[in-house]
C-alpha cells in the first residue's frame, strides 16, 4: 500500500481494529479463528491495492476498492461468536451480515468516505455467484476488485492449511471431505463449461481444489489478478496437490485450461 492508501484508509483501519478488539479474550488475544480472519483481511487489502495499481484505478475507484476490501468480512467475528462457525449455510450470510454491521456502525460516514454506497454494495455482493446488472463504474470496480482480492487470498489460505495439516493421515481433515476420491464428473463438467459450480456438488477435497482451479479459468475478473495468481504459483501448487489426491485425467485437462487462461491473460466470460 502507498502513503495515499494510508491517508484514505487510516481512520477506517483504526475504527475496524477497535471493533475487532472487542472480540479479544481476557488475556488480550483474539480467538485463533478470528486472528486468521484478521490476517486474511490484511492480505485482501494488499491484493486490492495491487489490483488497483495494475488496472490503473482512479482515486475514487481505489478508495472504494480498498475500503470494501478492509470491511468485506466484518461480520465474521460476530458470526463466529454467535454461531461458532464460518459456514454461512449453517448460520448467516456473512456478506449480508458484514453489510449490516458496517452500515449500522456508521464508519463510512464518520471518515467522510466519498462513495459509501459503492463500498457497502461491494461488501454485500462479495460472495454472490454473480453481480447484479447495472452497477455504476465505481461500484463495479470496487466489487470486482474485492471478489478477485478475496479469491487470491483464499488460494494462499488453502496452501497454508495443506502445509500444516497431516491430510494423508487424517482422511477427513479438510471440512470432513474425503481425500481419496477423484474429482466428480459434475464438478469437472461445470468448470470446463465455465459455469459456476453448485457448492452442493462438492463431494471430496479434489472437488474443492478443482473449484479453485475453476476460479482461475473463469472467476478472476481482472488481468492483474490472473497475473498475480500465475506469479504466485497457485496453479502449479494445485496441479501437484491434485496429482497426489487422484490420477484422474481431468486434473491435467482442467489445469491445462487454467494455465492457458493465466498465461494469455484471456478475459473470463
In the complex with Fe ion, which residue's Cβ is closer, 61 or 73?
73
Shortest Å, Cβ 94 to Fe ion: 6
* Coil/strand/helix, residue 204: strand
Shortest Å, Cβ 37 to Fe ion: 9
Binding residues for Fe ion restricted to 68-97, rule: CB under 5 A: 73
Shortest Å, Cβ 207 to Fe ion: 20
Taking Cα atoms as reference points, which of 151, 162, 153, 181 lies closest to residue 237?
A: 162
Shortest Å, Cβ 123 to Fe ion: 9
Taking Cα atoms as reference points, which of 129, 117, 153 lies closest to residue 234?
A: 153
In the complex with Fe ion, which residue's Cβ is closer, 5 or 73?
73
Q: Report which DSSP code applies to 75.
A: T
**Cβ–Cβ under 8 Å, residues 16 and 9:** no
Dist CA 241 CA 237 (whole Å): 6
Cell numbers representing residue 129 in the block = 455467484
Binding residues for Fe ion restricted to 34-73, rule: CB under 5 A: 73
Binding residues for Fe ion restricted to 123-152, rule: CB under 5 A: none
Dist CA 3 CA 130 (whole Å): 33
In the complex with Fe ion, which residue's Cβ is closer, 98 or 206?
98
Q: How many CB atoms lie within 10 A of CB 268?
A: 14
- Report the residue closest to Fe ion, judged by CB: 73
Dist CA 29 CA 21 (whole Å): 9
In the complex with Fe ion, which residue's Cβ is closer, 72 or 226?
72
In the complex with Fe ion, which residue's Cβ is closer, 63 or 73?
73
Shortest Å, Cβ 55 to Fe ion: 21
Taking Cα atoms as reference points, which of 112, 114, 118, 116 lies closest to residue 136?
A: 118
Shortest Å, Cβ 161 to Fe ion: 17
In the complex with Fe ion, which residue's Cβ is closer, 111 or 122?
122
Chain residues that interact with Fe ion, rule: CB under 5 A: 73
Amino acid at each position: 500500500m502507498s502513503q495515499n492508501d494510508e491517508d484514505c484508509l487510516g481512520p477506517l483501519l483504526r475504527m475496524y481494529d477497535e471493533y475487532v478488539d472487542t472480540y479479544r479474550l481476557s488475556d488480550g488475544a483474539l480467538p485463533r479463528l478470528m486472528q486468521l480472519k484478521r490476517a486474511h483481511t490484511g492480505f485482501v487489502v494488499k491484493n486490492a491495492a495491487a489490483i488497483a495499481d495494475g488496472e490503473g484505478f482512479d482515486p475514487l475507484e481505489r478508495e472504494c476498492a480498498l475500503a470494501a476490501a478492509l470491511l468485506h468480512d466484518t461480520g465474521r467475528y460476530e458470526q463466529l461468536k454467535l454461531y461458532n462457525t464460518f459456514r454461512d449455510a449453517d448460520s448467516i450470510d456473512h456478506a449480508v451480515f458484514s453489510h449490516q454491521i458496517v452500515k449500522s456502525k456508521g464508519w463510512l460516514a464518520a471518515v467522510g468516505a466519498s462513495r459509501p454506497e459503492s463500498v457497502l454494495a461491494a461488501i454485500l455482493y462479495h460472495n454472490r455467484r454473480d453481480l447484479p446488472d447495472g452497477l455504476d463504474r465505481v461500484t463495479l470496480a470496487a466489487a470486482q476488485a474485492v471478489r478477485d482480492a478475496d479469491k487470491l487470498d483464499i488460494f494462499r489460505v488453502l496452501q497454508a492449511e495443506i502445509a500444516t495439516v497431516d491430510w494423508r493421515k487424517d482422511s477427513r481433515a479438510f471440512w470432513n471431505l474425503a481425500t481419496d476420491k477423484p474429482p466428480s464428473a459434475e464438478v469437472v463438467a461445470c468448470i470446463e463449461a465455465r459455469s459456476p459450480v453448485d457448492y452442493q456438488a462438492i463431494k471430496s477435497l479434489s472437488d474443492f481444489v478443482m473449484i479453485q482451479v475453476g476460479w482461475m479459468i473463469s472467476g478472476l475478473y481482472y488481468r492483474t489478478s490472473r497475473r498475480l495468481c500465475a506469479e504466485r504459483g497457485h496453479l502449479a501448487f494445485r496441479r501437484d496437490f491434485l496429482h497426489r489426491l487422484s490420477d484422474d485425467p481431468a486434473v491435467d485437462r482442467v489445469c491445462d485450461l487454467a494455465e492457458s487462461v493465466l498465461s494469455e491473460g484471456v478475459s473470463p466470460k
